[in-house]
Structure 1
């Protein structure tokens, strides 16, 4: 089990290795990442607009629809 002295020693070693500036920059980056993640989750709750189907002239579907209409019109 970790005691307070173990935690303090680990923190002291990290600060000595990386310096105070890098540790605070790293914590700031972690906080920005968490905020961005939460914002992304909140944006997912809003339903996206359903795109309208596009009709492309000369497509196989239009040609098939035209043939079906011709068949029904001709008998």
Structure 2
């Protein structure tokens, strides 16, 4: 379902009940995970809470700035 970033370091039981403020994949998969997370949130019209934004913003600054395409859910 998600990109390779999720498979890179943990089983679903390690993070299934946590948000991005509490869990992120191993460093090598962080940018891919952030991209996938953003796509899902955007697709379904979900918002990021303040803790999620605070956790992701400094990490995303080190990722490449590439446009993404999102197909919105109906």
Interval containing the TM-score (normalised by the shorter chain) = under 0.3
Relative to total residues, which structure has the larger helix share, 1 or 2? 1
The normalised TM-score by structure 1 is: 0.24
The normalised TM-score by structure 2 is: 0.24
Higher relative contact order (CA 8 A, sep 6+): 2
Higher Cα radius of gyration: 1
